Chain A
């Protein structure tokens, strides 16, 4: 029975820590070949969802299915076919770069020759071949992260779960990781990603959810969400005059008043934008496209978490 089951299917998944509900009835579906994003502020419950996805945390309620199998009973078969890049660095500091991959391959019971072959392949793919013999604590942050990614691919998984794969990396390393992830997507790999970089999610994800306080707020493609919640173009005005604020209110334009800034969301790029530009913007006006970051901040608010 092949059938078109989704790669991941979460139904009303809930995670409680004592009385605290970290994940509250989350339902989501990840389809084959999809790059799926899981966004949300610190403490939103992203890692908790992911840990239930690979069978580390037992569910408090709901059903989690991966490859059509229930994680509660089919966890071993599921884990055999997924790769996980955890949020924390979990590389083995007692082993060399190469041994990290070889030993990990042993946990999947890969044949020795296959393990050696895939290790060489992955070190090459992630530009780590020259560090083969290095101890992992000698690696830079970017190289350690790439090794985490390489390790997540050692078993040739059908699904890769990436919990903040680029946090703490410099722009060069981040772009390099993005390139690699895009290459993997082109090969048809299904991926689930969490990130705090909205640009990253917008570039990589086909579809994503934004969650907060354990619940899903919205779901859609980055373009859809930007279209709905941010608008095509945005005007940011620093220390706006009272006339502009009054004008925006009177015209009932979607906007947000911050202590020193006014953010105006406009859909008609020309008319309203031009009016504002000509009548109010003598300085310190930024005209830009709406981004996923605008969507994120509008939906989850601007106050700090935790």
Chain B
């Protein structure tokens, strides 16, 4: 196998993104701060009157407690995925940032890896803020909750790599509608986020097992509430494999796209 051409230089690219992020950090912090509050207000308060209690992993819990950890997981997905789709696409295509980098000692794989790692970093930052919010609202009752941070990074790598894969094959920026409609939205709705997967017909339950978001939601529930349906190690393993597969696919599609 050809060498991957990876070195610590990739943190130069990561740092570039951090500098840009810090420039508008207040705006960047606002979204993860208020978005979970909106969701909790709309679904947790608004819907819970209709829904009442939810049966999850053999326990009855209030609906708002059920969805609070899911908000962590979906934010992890959205932050990384949007970073390596829209934001990376803008850098690659409109700003020609990657072209400039590829005249320096950076390799293409370093640039792509740094973008994905940056996406995961954004997931981590968002998860940290949301964790603070839901902890202060009393929805966290396990000391394991701090492990949400490394989990957010792993989940961010998985969804960041998937996003970068789509960036490698998407002809124009408008066409990201397609992976969002076919990939992100179904995951968002059917991964045990807003209702337990147990409520689905068996075939759909099996399908949900393939969803990386399902495993991420499961793990955030486990770390914040101490209970989950699936096995923690299986879920971590699934996320890791998913991340690796899409990482190598993204290196491949981006190389085909950029190197002429």
Binding site for B on A (CB under 8 A): 17, 51, 54, 56-58, 76-77, 79-80, 82, 84, 86, 88-95, 99, 103-104, 106-109, 151, 155
**26 A-B Cβ contacts within 8 A?**
A51-B260, A56-B99, A57-B259, A76-B5, A79-B104, A79-B105, A80-B105, A82-B103, A90-B96, A90-B97, A92-B100, A94-B95, A95-B16, A95-B19, A99-B19, A103-B15, A103-B19, A104-B100, A104-B104, A106-B12, A107-B9, A107-B104, A108-B104, A109-B9, A109-B105, A151-B100
B13 contacts A by Cβ under 8 Å: yes
The verdict on B102 contacting chain A, using a C-beta distance below 8 Å, is: yes
| Inter-subunit contact A94/B20 (CB<8 Å) | yes
- Given that A103-B15, A106-B12, A106-B15 are known contacts, is A88 also in contact with B260, CB under 8 Å in the complex? no
Could you list 7 further interchain pairs (A-B, Cβ under 8 angstroms) beyond the known A58-B259, A103-B19, A107-B13?
A: A51-B260, A56-B99, A90-B96, A92-B95, A94-B23, A95-B16, A104-B104
Task: Establish whether residues A106 and B16, one from each chain, have CB atoms under 8 Å apart when the complex forms.
Answer: yes
* Alpha-carbon separation in the docked complex, A75 to B260 (Å): 16
Report the nearest A residue to B24, measured CB to CB. Answer: A94
- Shortest beta-carbon distance, A98 to chain B, in Å? 12
Residues of A near B9 (CB, < 8 A) are 107, 109
Our pick among B5, B97, B106 for the contact of A92 (Cβ within 8 Å) is B97
Give min CB distance, A104 to chain B, whole Å: 7
Q: Contact: B95 with A84, CB < 8 Å?
A: no
A86 touches B106 (CB 8 A): no
Contact A88 B99 (CB under 8 A): yes
Query: Please, how many angstroms separate the alpha-carbon atoms of A94 and B95 in the complex?
Result: 9
The distance from the CB of B89 to the nearest CB of chain A, in whole angstroms, is: 14
Q: What separation, in Å, do the CA atoms of A80 and B9 have in the docked complex?
A: 12
With both chains docked as a complex, state the minimum distance between the C-beta of A258 and any C-beta of chain B, in angstroms.
37
Please encode chain B, from 92 to 121, with 1 for each CB lying within 8 Å of some chain A CB and 0 for all others.
Answer: 000111011111111100000000000000
Contact A86 B103 (CB under 8 A): yes
Q: Given contacts A94-B20, A99-B19, is CB(A54)–CB(B103) below 8 Å?
A: yes
CB neighbours (8 Å) of B15 from chain A are 103, 106
Contact A95/B105 with A57-B260, A88-B96, A107-B12 known, Cβ cut-off 8 Å? no
A57 CA / B108 CA spacing, docked (Å): 12
Interface size of B as a range: 20 to 34
Which residues of chain A come closer than 8 Å to B19, judged between CB atoms? 95, 99, 103
- Residues of B whose CB lies within 8 Å of any CB of A are 5, 9, 12-13, 15-16, 19-20, 23, 95-97, 99-107, 259-260
| CB <8 Å contact, B100 and A86 | yes
> Bound complex: CA of A5 vs CA of B184, how far in Å?
55
Q: A58-B259, A95-B19 are in contact. Are A107 and B106 (CB under 8 A)?
A: yes
- Residues of B close to A155: CB separation below 8 A: 104
With contact pairs A57-B259, A93-B95, A103-B19 given, residues A108 and B103 touching in the complex (Cβ less than 8 Å): no
B101's nearest neighbour on chain A, judged by CB, is A107
**Min distance, Cβ B166 to any Cβ of chain A, angstroms:** 22
Complex Cα distance A54/B16, Å? 22
Complex Cα distance, B19 from A95, in Å, reads: 8
Q: B16–A103 contact, CB under 8 A? A: yes
Among B15, B20, B100, B107, the most chain A Cβ lie within 10 Å of the Cβ of B100
A225 CB → nearest B CB, Å: 30
List, in ascending order, chain B residues with CB within 8 A of A57's CB: 259-260
A117 to chain B, nearest CB (A): 18
Docked-complex contact B107 and A84, CB < 8 angstroms:
no
Tell me which of A84, A89, A91 contacts B103 (CB under 8 A).
A84
A93 to B93, CA, bound (A): 13
Decide if B107 touches A76 in the complex (CB within 8 Å): yes
B20 CB to closest chain A CB (Å) equals 4
Closest Cβ of chain B: how far from A87's Cβ, in Å? 10
Contacts of B102 in A (CB 8 A): 56
Q: Which residues of B contact A91 (CB under 8 A)?
A: 100
Chain A residues contacting B106 (CB-CB under 8 Å) are 107
How distant is B16 from chain A, measured CB to nearest CB, in Å? 5
Closest A residue to B91 by beta carbon equals A94
| Residue with the highest number of chain B CB atoms closer than 10 Å, among A89, A94, A95 | A94
Question: What residue of chain B has the Cβ atom nearest to residue A155's Cβ?
Answer: B104
Closest to B8 in A: A109
CB distance from B122 to the nearest CB of A (A): 15
Alpha-carbon distance between A122 and B100 when the two chains are bound, in angstroms: 18
- Is A76's CB under 8 angstroms from B105's CB? yes
Q: How far, in angstroms, from A54 to B106 measured CA to CA in the complex?
A: 12
Nearest chain B CB to A6 CB, angstrom units: 21
Report the minimum CB–CB distance from B139 to chain A (whole Å): 36
A291 to B16, CA, bound (A): 46
Q: How far is the CB of A49 from chain B (nearest CB, A)?
A: 13
Residues of A within 8 A of B20 (CB): 94-95
Q: Which residue of B lies closest to A90 (CB)?
A: B100
CB-defined contacts of A94 to chain B, threshold 8 Å? 20, 23, 95
Contact B105 A56 (CB under 8 A): no
A82 surroundings in chain B (CB, below 8 A): 103
CB neighbours (8 Å) of B13 from chain A are 107
